[in-house]
A and B are shown apart, each in its own frame.
Chain A
Amino acid sequence: MKDKNALAQAVGMAGVIQQTAGHKAAYNSQRKKEGEGRSCIKYRCGLTNTIQDVLNQRPGWVEVKDDGEWDFNWCDVGWLRENFDHSYMEEHVRICHFRNHYELTRKNLMVKNLKRYRKTLEREAGRLEAAKCDFFPRTFVLPSEYHIFVEEFKRSPGSTWIMKPVARSQGKGIFLFRKLKDIIDWRKDGTRSEEQKDEAQVESYVAQRYIENPYLIAGRKFDLRVYVLVTSYIPLKAWLYRDGFARFSNTRFSLNSIDDQYVHLTNVAVQKTAPDYDPEKGCKWQMQQLRCYLTAKHGFETVQTLFKEVDNIFIRSLLSVQKTIINDKHCFELYGYDILMDQDLKPWLIEVNASPSLTASSQEDYDLKYRLLEDTLHIVDMEGRLTGKEKRVGGFDLMWNDGPVYTDVGLEALGCSCLVANTHLGCVNDRQKQLQHLLKPFPGQKRT
């Protein structure tokens, strides 16, 4: 045990020098959280990508394998499904998923929850307020909503629809269609794999109105990947990460080629299999890049409005499942939101991922995911270094805390009643500096 502690200390030392050089002691007198001063945190990690490195290099954190007791678990959803209900977790323990996250992340359930929330909102607050939920293209769950889908389909002849499997990711099983005939054929089609036919769920697909006028940059379609961290649903506490990226389709957009899934799907995983994919060629732009480009094109105010609407998507989608998700104080979750913009600069929600890819496609991508995960762990705060009153931790800005969160009042607000939302998606992420001011050094580490 002594050796292990010494090792942890040594790892801690090395880690601090390597990662957190320059962290100054910033002792503040506010009350410390429970679990403070924990100098050795045992973690379990079910993934072998960036998160592995982040956990490994965090001072004072030690990996336990197999059946060892853990304080922190970064698991995949499969493990969660099998083990969550049988695990007893002490008060301080944290795990990276909510038990029934699929209420938000599975397309059919998300649609159901969102539609229900919208109805409630319309009843309680009127049509205008409910219209704020109209960021989701018309979607129908199949086969249960097949008939209303057909009605809607016939009402807009010539429009394009997209069929998506409910529980799949990385663009698998998705196709576009314009004629009902196409899906009738598909239903009978033997090309669907055995796996698909054996879907235990009755409702395995959604049909969604395809956005035919996506915003294009240099003729290419792209979507946005944004990261939102939820540490509690009741009350709802959600953080928005400043970094993110735009994923470009490798080929030029045209409605003529709906069979060419490479044109329409911007998932990097799909792009990687496209014939002209060149891994050396970037497919991504950092969010800051995109924001800069859009501002240059459309002006500052327009882009601000756009990003405000994007914030609205996060908040409304989370509120719509607030009462459905089992709120367990042990749980937190890092969501990957996929957003698409159309030519009128309206953002649309495509989907929410409970396990956004943490595998890096390039050094830049690795650095982004590393910081994202590091900051996530700062917020989960196993070490008890935060007071709980922070509005910003590293690259995360507190977006919703049982109500909207506003930035601290600046000079301009004196005598002016405008409130500015505390979100900075695509803005400068000077997290190192901010963390230096914010965080005390890791437990067991001397003041520098």
Chain B
Amino acid sequence: MMDESTELSVSITQIVQRLKGTHLHSQLEKQAKECMHKPEIKLETLKDDVRRLLKASGWERKLQNAVYRELHILPPPGNPRAPPEHTKEPLAYMCKAQLSWEKRILKSLNSMCTELGIPLARKRPVLEQKELTNKWNEMGTDEPDLSKFRPVYAPKDFLEVLIGLRNLNNDRSEDLTVRSNWGLIQVSLNIRDIPQMRETYPELGLTYGQLGIDDHTHVPPDLFESEHILIGKKVVSEQDSAAAQQYSRQGCPTGLRAQLWTLILNTTDDPEVITHYEQLKARVIHHGLLVDNLIYKDVKLTASNDDYYFVFEDYLYQVLLCFSRDTAVLEHFNYNSATPPKSHIQSKSGSEQCAVVYPPNGVIPFHGFSMYVAPLCFLYNEPSKLYSVFREMYIRYFFRLHSISSHPSGIVSLCLQFERLLQTHLPQLFYHLREIGAQPLRIAFKWIVRAFSGYLSTDQLLLLWDRILGYGSLELVAVLAAAVFAFRAENLMEVTSLASAEAVLADLSTLKVMPLLQIFLFATSV
């Protein structure tokens, strides 16, 4: 076990290592050199003077933001002698389950490839490249024949895998008791209860102002809203990433949200960001991947049919096709319990096969994947900006929703938490639903996997995602799912089948997220 100070120095070393060689690093060096020419610099106090000047010109803040960002994606601390696989996922049974799930998906992808006779990757002929370049801004007008493609998997397939998870060290009887899990998840993880969450999310409490509650029409804006907007403007002008994250806990005003999110995620407008995006675009033009078809199909089936997001169809292609080719995404496998899938590609000479990561970013899209991007189109319309925001959100949060791990924001923990909350606070409802064969998780799972995208109305979804960014955790997604059940409990008690339970919960578009969360966390008796 490392003590805290050793852990800290290890983290510092890691972060310094990562920041060295970045664009920010070279910019800082350049700035520091320029400082040398300034008259107020004295040789005796060189270090302090340069530091002072960098602080005054806002560069220290930029560095702070970059460090803050690194902290978000730092791999979890662990024993220095432990291999990385153990650090990313300490529980052996989780690792095993993830591995076998990956094998299944890859097998499915490869067999689709063989069945359809379509190569995993191919170089596009020049004519096709030209066409695609011309059509880049309106790929949605294309109507390729996608009938033979099936999504590699859908959330419900993934749910079955999670249901089958077992910890052999902790086998429980299947009897239904007060202590057992009544739900589908049959493993034990350390999840929090309401009293603990009250301490984690004090800013959602009844005495704090919230956007999503206190900006309602009948509430005079001086009570909270006007002040909150002023503070928001200040945060944006200070360009302080940590402050933006703290601020976001009480919601972001619509007019400031785009800037606040880029601040929290530390996605900049640097030319290197744009260059990177252009490079990815070039890769899309030159090579076609099998997964491109899966992306097309997903967008056509989900986002294009959505009342709110159909308009953004073209943006979704522009983001997702590039995303598949972005090898920078592979970095997140340092802390993702998953490993990037490898496929065998014939080498040029045809004599041997080598294993390459496929798709290049290591992420195989599933049915509904495009919904992670769709709400962001509401905030950003320059493709490179939209892309960087999405990518950052994916590698910080979304990836946890479809890989098996014991992380508190991982899908398994979220599902378990949802079920536990329901079992603890709405036992009658849970029991009733169980009896009629309507396990609550079967209904709520699709909401959780997508972090409610496509189920809530957009403005409500963005308020929820404000808090996900603000607290750096997906836990509230599970809490909201339970709160929705609590809200509709009366109607649910009357239903007698899974189908009718689904019907009661089919339309969430009128729900107001923040009151539901607040009531569930702070007004439920414990």
**B220 close to A410 (CB less than 8 A):** yes
**B307 close to A364 (CB less than 8 A):** yes
Known A281-B304, A289-B458, A292-B378; contact A412-B221, beta-carbon cutoff 8 A:
yes
Minimal beta-carbon separation of A437 from chain B (angstroms):
10
Known A410-B220, A411-B220; contact A219-B254, beta-carbon cutoff 8 A:
no
B253 within 8 A of A: yes
Give A386-439 interface residues, CB cut-off 8 Å to B. Answer: 410-412, 424, 427-428, 430
B487 within 8 A of A: no
Minimal beta-carbon separation of B303 from chain A (angstroms):
11
B255 within 8 A of A: yes
B192 within 8 A of A: no
B258 within 8 A of A: yes
Known A218-B313, A219-B138, A281-B305; contact A293-B378, beta-carbon cutoff 8 A:
yes
- Contact residue among B143, B222, B310, B315 (Cβ-Cβ distance under 8 Å from A282): B310
B141 within 8 A of A: yes
**A282 close to B314 (CB less than 8 A):** no
A366 within 8 A of B: no
Nearest neighbor of B379 in chain A, beta-carbon distance: A296
What residues of A have a CB within 8 angstroms of the CB of B221 in the complex?
410, 412
**B255 close to A300 (CB less than 8 A):** yes
**A252 close to B137 (CB less than 8 A):** yes
**B458 close to A292 (CB less than 8 A):** yes
**Binary CB contact string for chain A from 218 to 258 against chain B (1 if under 8 A, 0 otherwise):** 11100000000000000000000000000010011000000
What residues of A have a CB within 8 angstroms of the CB of B459 in the complex?
288-289, 292
**B254 close to A296 (CB less than 8 A):** yes
B7 within 8 A of A: no
- Contact residue among B226, B255, B310 (Cβ-Cβ distance under 8 Å from A295): B255
A269 within 8 A of B: no
**B138 close to A252 (CB less than 8 A):** yes
B103 within 8 A of A: no
**A219 close to B307 (CB less than 8 A):** no
**B137 close to A427 (CB less than 8 A):** no
A299 within 8 A of B: yes
**B310 close to A296 (CB less than 8 A):** no
Known A295-B255, A300-B253; contact A218-B377, beta-carbon cutoff 8 A:
yes
What residues of B have a CB within 8 angstroms of the CB of A281 in the complex?
304-305, 310
What residues of A have a CB within 8 angstroms of the CB of B258 in the complex?
296-297
Tell me, in angstroms, the Cα distance from A248 to B311 when the chains sit together: 8
Minimal beta-carbon separation of B299 from chain A (angstroms):
12
Known A281-B310, A292-B458, A296-B258; contact A218-B217, beta-carbon cutoff 8 A:
no
B203 within 8 A of A: no
Tell me, in angstroms, the Cα distance from A410 to B225 when the chains sit together: 14
**A300 close to B254 (CB less than 8 A):** yes
Nearest neighbor of B216 in chain A, beta-carbon distance: A428
**A430 close to B217 (CB less than 8 A):** yes
Minimal beta-carbon separation of A250 from chain B (angstroms):
10
Tell me, in angstroms, the Cα distance from A396 to B143 when the chains sit together: 43
Minimal beta-carbon separation of B235 from chain A (angstroms):
15
A74 within 8 A of B: no
**Binary CB contact string for chain B from 119 to 149 against chain A (1 if under 8 A, 0 otherwise):** 0000000000000000001100101000000
B257 within 8 A of A: yes
**Binary CB contact string for chain B from 447 to 476 against chain A (1 if under 8 A, 0 otherwise):** 000000000011100000000000000000
What residues of A have a CB within 8 angstroms of the CB of B315 in the complex?
218
Nearest neighbor of B309 in chain A, beta-carbon distance: A282
Minimal beta-carbon separation of A178 from chain B (angstroms):
23
**Binary CB contact string for chain A from 346 to 368 against chain B (1 if under 8 A, 0 otherwise):** 00000000000000001010000
Minimal beta-carbon separation of A394 from chain B (angstroms):
14
A280 within 8 A of B: yes
Minimal beta-carbon separation of B297 from chain A (angstroms):
15
What residues of B have a CB within 8 angstroms of the CB of A301 in the complex?
255
Minimal beta-carbon separation of B387 from chain A (angstroms):
15
Tell me, in angstroms, the Cα distance from A191 to B220 when the chains sit together: 61
Tell me, in angstroms, the Cα distance from A424 to B253 when the chains sit together: 18
A217 within 8 A of B: yes
What residues of B have a CB within 8 angstroms of the CB of A84 in the complex?
none
Give B292-329 interface residues, CB cut-off 8 Å to A. Answer: 304-308, 310-315
**B305 close to A219 (CB less than 8 A):** no
Nearest neighbor of A288 in chain B, beta-carbon distance: B459
- Contact residue among A218, A276, A410, A424 (Cβ-Cβ distance under 8 Å from B381): A218
What residues of A have a CB within 8 angstroms of the CB of B378 in the complex?
292-293, 296
Minimal beta-carbon separation of A337 from chain B (angstroms):
22
What residues of A have a CB within 8 angstroms of the CB of B457 in the complex?
289
**A299 close to B141 (CB less than 8 A):** no
A210 within 8 A of B: no
Tell me, in angstroms, the Cα distance from A362 to B221 when the chains sit together: 35
Tell me, in angstroms, the Cα distance from A364 to B216 when the chains sit together: 23
Tell me, in angstroms, the Cα distance from A424 to B222 when the chains sit together: 19
What residues of A have a CB within 8 angstroms of the CB of B377 in the complex?
218
Known A295-B255, A300-B253, A427-B217; contact A219-B314, beta-carbon cutoff 8 A:
yes
Minimal beta-carbon separation of B474 from chain A (angstroms):
23
**Binary CB contact string for chain A from 437 to 448 against chain B (1 if under 8 A, 0 otherwise):** 000000000000
A285 within 8 A of B: yes
Known A411-B220, A411-B222; contact A218-B257, beta-carbon cutoff 8 A:
no
Give A276-332 interface residues, CB cut-off 8 Å to B. Answer: 276, 280-282, 284-285, 288-289, 292-293, 295-301, 303
What residues of B have a CB within 8 angstroms of the CB of A411 in the complex?
220, 222
Minimal beta-carbon separation of B147 from chain A (angstroms):
16
Known A295-B254, A430-B217; contact A220-B311, beta-carbon cutoff 8 A:
yes
Minimal beta-carbon separation of B506 from chain A (angstroms):
12
What residues of A have a CB within 8 angstroms of the CB of B312 in the complex?
218
**B138 close to A282 (CB less than 8 A):** no
**A218 close to B216 (CB less than 8 A):** no
Minimal beta-carbon separation of B317 from chain A (angstroms):
11
**Binary CB contact string for chain B from 365 to 390 against chain A (1 if under 8 A, 0 otherwise):** 00000000000011101000000000
Provide 24 A-B residue pairs closer than 8 Å at the C-beta atoms, listed in order of the A residue.
A218-B312, A218-B313, A218-B314, A218-B377, A248-B311, A251-B141, A252-B137, A281-B310, A282-B305, A282-B310, A285-B307, A289-B308, A289-B457, A292-B254, A295-B255, A296-B254, A296-B378, A299-B255, A299-B256, A300-B229, A300-B254, A300-B255, A303-B255, A424-B217
Residues of B within 8 A of A (CB): 137-138, 141, 143, 216-218, 220-222, 226, 229, 253-258, 304-308, 310-315, 377-379, 381, 457-459
Taking A217-B311, A292-B254 as known contacts, 8 extra A-B pairs with beta carbons closer than 8 A to each other, sorted by chain A number, are: A218-B311, A218-B377, A219-B138, A219-B314, A295-B255, A300-B229, A362-B307, A428-B217
A-B pairs with lowest CB-CB distance, top 9: A282-B307, A300-B255, A299-B255, A295-B254, A218-B311, A252-B138, A411-B220, A218-B312, A410-B220
